[in-house]
Amino acid sequence: MDTQAISIASYIDHTLLKPAVTRAEIIHLCEEAIEYQFVSVCIPPCYVSLAADILNGTPIATGTVIGFPLGYNTTATKVKEAQAARKDGAQEIDMVINRGWIKDGLYPLVVKEVQEVTQVVPDMIVKVIMELCDLTGPEKREAAAALLETGAHFLKTSTGLGKGGATLEDVHLLAEISRGRMKIKAAGGIRHAAEALAFIKAGASRIGTSSGVQIMQEQYLLLKADS
């Protein structure tokens, strides 16, 4: 594999979260992640142990989702989901926050919930899905600022299943607010190499996408054209 093409691969969380995903599809996803050397896979909780077994001995992390996709599960449920994911072999979790609490201005509850999850999985990477398409500008700012105090590692734009996905404007905003205190994951609707590169330039440290292979193939063509 062309080592020049690793640049985008080293940002990609290779994702498959559609409702009817099968074991065969998860196995294939993991094989692709190994081939292209993506950072991680992001898969449904029920397949964590399967993926962890396949990826054992590789540098690719097994990731899964918590409170997905709506985020209004109880805190106790999210905590148990995180603990179960860790037990099954996950190294990273993407958890959805309660947007209703944000709408009500209950930011301390949002912070407390994320803190409770991060505290039970201290050795795992925790990414907080904000689903920014549901939030106003002021809500985005206040929520992002509040989440800096949670101990989580990433602010994530979207579930990929909401009414909107990642935008460059939102990634710029999160980068401005976080100022390096938390990293940023852009997810939702990113399907092309040029888009991925634009999000990385805007400040994203991870790209969540189900189009990782297509993105890499496009980058090969871009590199070939430049050579």
Q: Of residues 134, 156, 170, 183, which has the active-site annotation?
A: 156
Q: Of residues 94, 127, 140, 183, which has the active-site annotation?
A: 94
pLDDT exceeds cutoff 90 at 24:
yes
pLDDT exceeds cutoff 70 at 40:
yes
Phi/psi for 200 (5° steps) reads -65, -45
Averaged pLDDT for residues 135-141: 98
| Widest Cα–Cα separation across the chain | 54
Averaged pLDDT for residues 5-19: 89
Report pLDDT for 224.
74
183 catalytic residue (yes or no): no
List domains and CATH numbers for the chain.
65-226 (3.20.20.70)
pLDDT exceeds cutoff 60 at 4:
no
Report pLDDT for 2.
41
Nearest Cα neighbor of 87 from 56, 45, 55 is: 45
Report pLDDT for 11.
98
Task: Give residue-wise pLDDT tens across range 41-79.
Answer: 999 999 999 999 999 999 999 999 999 999 999 999 999
Please give the Cα distance from 134 to 1 (Å, whole number): 40
